[in-house]
Amino acid sequence: MSRRGAAPGRNPDAAWRLPAEVIGLAEGPAAADPRLFRARTRGPFWDLLQELGITLLVTREYEHLVLSLGTRAGRPAVSALPLPHPSGLAVDRKRGIVHVACTRNPNFVLDLHPAPRLLPRKDLPARPRPGGALVPVRARFLPGSFYLHDLAFVGGRLHGNAVGINAVVRLEEGGETRAVWWPKSVESGGRLRADRNYLQLNSIAAGPDLARSFFTASASRPSARRPGHRNFAVDRRGVLLSGATREPVAWGLTRPHSARLHEGAVWVDNSGYGELWRRSGEAWETVARLPGWTRGLCFAGGVAFVGTSRVLPRFAHYAPGLTRGGSICGLHAVDTKSGKTLAALVWPSGDQLFAVEWLPAGGTASLPFDPPPAATARRERALFYAFDTGRTRA
């Protein structure tokens, strides 16, 4: 793994590895390294966010960071939350609630709620800055073997890709988790084979229900070579699966991620070739080619926001259409009609981007922490001491 984004003397790949650290959120991650936040723009990136009236949320999994990217008074506004290996994001835009999947051992899903105000406390510093941020209110822990990736709302209910058990799971409000969908190829005697990862089933194009949704996997059926093996064949072996039939309906993908339904079409990041694909009728169309491992996709207006990541040395065989030197960690705004890149934000010291989603712009679309070296301890203490999500009753 590239160490370019690591804090001096640290190996971020070794962070958050002990279950006690994950459960207690006790590991001191490399998030304090200012280099992880330094970014360069290509084109009017911040102006585009302001024009669309949105704030973007981005997970950078191997750097253990969730970032909020928006504007405030016409200037860039970036905030952060350190978490262990964050991957999938699901956003309830009506309520402003965000769900983040974290894939260390154990896995957990963190719920972030907007806190527009502070509780009226006399023991707060005089005139503290108002809350106005997303704050964590609940964590649901799951077995590390689930290996959660994508999160999505299907039929108004939260679902996730449990890659390690080859299934889509429904995350119930009461804390229960239930496998509700899986490809036919991983059945044995009509039952799900959940004993190991066979297909790398890793994204959800969420429809009104599971039958009208689509899913991607790196392989169509189990074989002696499994995801994680160096000789696991990936080049054009990936598939798009129908929620209704649980069978492949399209082939030719290479390590696909971030499948989404948009304007009646299925869109997919064809990661191994750094491409954004759209399925029109019975054929795939390449909308854009981007400089890196494409992963992370959301739509706002006529713009697709697509993430790219560096090609990690140990995973280079998963990216036959890319070179390490030509891959960057960045976020690209792509015109959905022309495929033209309108603007981009690039992190020169960044590594891996997993998911991107958006919320309507506003104070409560930000995260609790300002990037270093900003001195914000007083504001952070006030926020966590007295945040008010509207759910607190004294």
Q: Is the pLDDT of residue 30 over 60?
A: no
pLDDT surpassing 60 at residue 174: yes
27 token code pair:
């590991």
Distance of CA 321 to the CA centre of its chain: 23
Length of the chain: 394
CB of 376 closer than 8 Å to CB of 369: yes
Taking residues 374-385, report their average pLDDT.
76
Instruction: Average the pLDDT over 219-245 and give the result.
Output: 94
Tell me the residue type at 262: H
Residue 10 pLDDT level (bands cut at 50, 70, 90)? low
3-class SS at 89? strand
What is the Cα–Cα distance from 98 to 219, expressed in whole angstroms?
30
- Mean pLDDT for the stretch of residues 361-380: 81
Give me the residue spans of the domains in the chain: 40-80+285-355, 84-253
Q: Is the pLDDT of residue 43 over 80?
A: yes
Tell me: the pLDDT tens digits for 313-355? 888 999 999 998 999 999 999 999 999 999 999 999 999 999 9
* Backbone conformation region of residue 175, classed left if phi is above 0, alpha if psi is from -120 to 50, else beta: left
Is the predicted pLDDT of residue 31 greater than 50, yes or no?
no
- For the cut 90, the answer to whether the pLDDT of residue 76 exceeds it is yes
Task: Name the one residue in this structure whose structure tokens are 């949320």.
Answer: 57
Residues 265-276: what's their mean pLDDT?
A: 98
> In the prediction, which pLDDT does 127 show?
59
Structure token pair of residue 326? 């030509």
CA 55/CA 29 separation, integer angstroms: 24
Q: How many CB atoms lie within 10 A of CB 63?
A: 28
Segment 90-142, tens digit of pLDDT: 999 999 999 999 999 999 999 999 999 888 888 887 655 556 899 999 999 99
Distance between CA atoms of residues 20 and 17, nearest Å: 9
pLDDT averaged over every residue in the chain: 90
pLDDT of residue 22: 57
Please say if the pLDDT value at position 393 is more than 80.
no
Taking the mean position of all CA atoms in its chain, how far away is CA 216?
15
Distances (CA, A) of 305 to 55, 108, 263, 299, 331: 12, 26, 15, 6, 7
189 contacts: CB under 8 Å, gap ≥ 6? none
* Per-residue pLDDT at 375: 54
Q: Report residue 2's pLDDT band, with 50, 70 and 90 as the boundaries.
A: very low
CB count within 10 Å of CB 195 equals: 11
* Mean pLDDT score, 70-93: 94
**Residue 294 and residue 307 in contact, taking contact as beta carbons nearer than 8 Å:** yes
